[in-house]
């Protein structure tokens, strides 16, 4: 069985506790690897290594162009190892090989993009209103960043933080989910091979309760970048506030996928299926609330159910599998609990609605109709292959239902009217709006969670700003110093 230590200060080190956690293959339900069980001592060691690299090491002496070159080299190594990394992620989190290989193959683009941005970070000379004064600004890295990432797309969600943080000149301590740590530890080997100086990138593993609090409160940490659930995000926010650390949070969603009666129904059906059953619903942008206009409701549901019934469940490593297992046992239990809650609330289960006897943690693709937006199944994030279908009358009602939720991460709109596409997109309270598509992502397009879905941006030019701070510099060029007892206003 593969055993993974932690990567700290450019070295592979065992945990201070001397203990390890089993990493379980969700398809078989059996352990396939052992992951170091870190604690506060390991957190301190990693943060100190990152701080030293930022303050005194060769990283701080590299030019921005040199940093960019390292990032692009890392991108090349990731591209060459995409298949191997995807295979590890499939074994660790149970997602489909088709999806994880697509992600692993696309991830290098983040390092090319942000590698190119590294030496485009600029300040400005300000036309100040004071004679005899030169005033300019510099954009400088924050320092040590702690990245905390979940189990559903380990490398992609970590990359959303790693690429811009390194491009900005920060150093990193990454804490992946204890359920899916293997791929990020394999990634660390490629960081080392690319030639990054020791301490620039570190990975600590273990349980959040045992290592996470120290990471989020350590006085040398300048920023916490977190992706995960709302409860975890609130805990991180509160913990980081003790030392006024900067925080970015990419949290959950209860995203509406809205189908109007002028939509291309076949495309909309495909989009609805992709929005909820791809990745077994284990994505923060899942279109878990399907809003269908009443004039096409029966026709649309007939098509939707016909396609959903064809979904092939099974081994996620096989190319013909369309729905894989749930990644963790606690999440599997949570999904089944929510299915029971939906039934108790009066929703009608028209597809699935139970565990699938496949040997691992499988839940049947499930669709509920008769859902009202005040039901828990419509308001709370299930994070599984469970779809709530809600009927609406007109555009105003669709927008009202869509926005009547605590979250605001994403939304989908299906229509052939360009006017409706623009108007509805403008009215929806979400950071990402897809029109006639769903679950499209790009390194160059920002993701900003609205409402309870998060704080700050990931991806795009905006992302690098999350890891920078501004310094204003004043230089007196006059031959005499003004009266020292009077402020220059």
Question: Nearest-5° angle of CA 304, CA 306, CA 308?
Answer: 65
Rounded to an integer, what distance in angstroms lies between the CA atom of residue 193 and that of residue 152? 26
Give the residue with greater pLDDT, 487 vs 259.
259
| Residues 42-101: tens digit of each pLDDT | 999 999 999 999 999 899 999 999 999 999 999 999 999 999 999 999 999 999 999 999
Rounded to an integer, what distance in angstroms lies between the CA atom of residue 188 and that of residue 121? 26
- Using CA atoms in the order 353, 354, 357, 358, what is the torsion angle rounded to 10 degrees? 60
Rounded to an integer, what distance in angstroms lies between the CA atom of residue 77 and that of residue 111? 10
Rounded to an integer, what distance in angstroms lies between the CA atom of residue 320 and that of residue 322? 6
Q: What pLDDT does 480 receive? A: 81
Query: Hey, which residues does 144 pair with through a beta bridge?
Result: 171, 221
Evaluate whether 423 touches 400 at the Cβ level (below 8 Å): no
Rounded to an integer, what distance in angstroms lies between the CA atom of residue 341 and that of residue 370? 14
Tell me what the mean pLDDT of segment 357-383 comes to.
95
Catalytic residue among 186, 284, 381, 458: 284
For residue 49, give the H/E element and its range. Answer: helix 40-55
HEC letters along 171-203: EEEEECCCCCCHHHHHHHHHHHHHCCCCCCEEE
Clarify whether 250 is annotated catalytic: yes
Clarify whether 380 is annotated catalytic: no
Q: What percent of the chain has pLDDT over 70?
A: 100
Catalytic residue among 250, 364, 381, 458: 250
Structure tokens at 152: 């559903």
Q: What pLDDT does 483 receive? A: 78
């Amino acid at each position: 069985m593969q055993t993974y230590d932690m990567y700290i200060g450019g070295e592979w080190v065992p945990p201070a506790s001397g203990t390890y956690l089993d990493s379980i293959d969700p398809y078989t339900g059996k352990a396939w690897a052992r992951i170091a069980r870190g604690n506060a001592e390991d957190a301190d060691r990693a943060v100190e290594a990152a701080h030293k690299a930022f303050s005194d090491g060769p990283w701080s002496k590299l030019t921005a162009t040199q940093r960019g070159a390292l990032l692009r080299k890392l991108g090349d190594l990731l591209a060459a190892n995409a298949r191997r990394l995807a295979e590890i992620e499939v074994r660790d989190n149970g997602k489909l090989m088709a999806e994880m290989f697509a992600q692993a193959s696309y991830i290098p683009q983040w390092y090319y993009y942000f590698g190119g941005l590294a030496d485009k970070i600029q300040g400005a000379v300000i036309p100040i209103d004071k004679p005899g004064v030169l005033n300019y600004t510099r954009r400088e890295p924050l320092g040590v960043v702690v990245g905390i990432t979940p189990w559903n797309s380990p490398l992609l969600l970590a990359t959303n933080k790693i690429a811009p943080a390194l491009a900005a000149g920060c150093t990193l301590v990454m804490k992946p989910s204890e359920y899916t740590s293997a791929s990020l530890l394999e990634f660390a080997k490629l960081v080392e091979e690319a030639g990054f100086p020791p301490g620039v990138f570190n990975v600590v593993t273990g349980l959040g309760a045992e290592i996470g609090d120290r990471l989020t409160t350590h006085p040398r940490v300048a920023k916490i970048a977190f992706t995960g659930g709302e409860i975890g995000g609130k805990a991180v926010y509160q913990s980081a506030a003790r030392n006024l650390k900067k925080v970015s949070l990419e949290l959950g969603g209860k995203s509406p996928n809205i189908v109007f009666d002028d939509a291309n129904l076949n495309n909309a059906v495909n989009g609805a299926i992709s929005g909820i059953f791809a990745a077994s619903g284990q994505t923060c942008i899942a279109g878990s609330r399907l809003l269908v206009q009443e004039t096409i409701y029966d026709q649309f549901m007939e098509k939707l159910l016909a396609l959903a019934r064809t979904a092939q469940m099974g081994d996620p490593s096989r190319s013909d599998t369309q729905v894989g297992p749930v990644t963790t046992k606690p999440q599997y239990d949570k999904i089944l609990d929510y299915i029971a809650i939906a039934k108790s609330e009066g929703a009608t289960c028209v597809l699935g609605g139970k565990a699938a006897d496949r040997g691992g943690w499988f839940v049947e693709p499930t669709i509920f109709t008769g859902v009202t937006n005040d039901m828990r199944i419509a308001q709370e994030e299930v994070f599984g292959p469970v779809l709530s279908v809600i009927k609406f009358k007109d555009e105003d009602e669709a927008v009202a239902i869509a926005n009547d939720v605590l979250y605001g991460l994403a939304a989908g709109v299906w229509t052939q009217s360009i006017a409706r596409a623009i108007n509805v997109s403008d009215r929806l309270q979400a950071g990402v709006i897809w029109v006639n598509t769903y679950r499209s992502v790009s390194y160059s397009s920002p993701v900003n969670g609205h409402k309870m879905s998060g704080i700050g941006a990931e991806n795009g030019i905006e992302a690098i700003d999350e890891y920078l701070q501004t310094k204003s510099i004043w230089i007196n060029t006059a031959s005499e110093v003004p009266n020292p007892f009077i402020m220059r206003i």
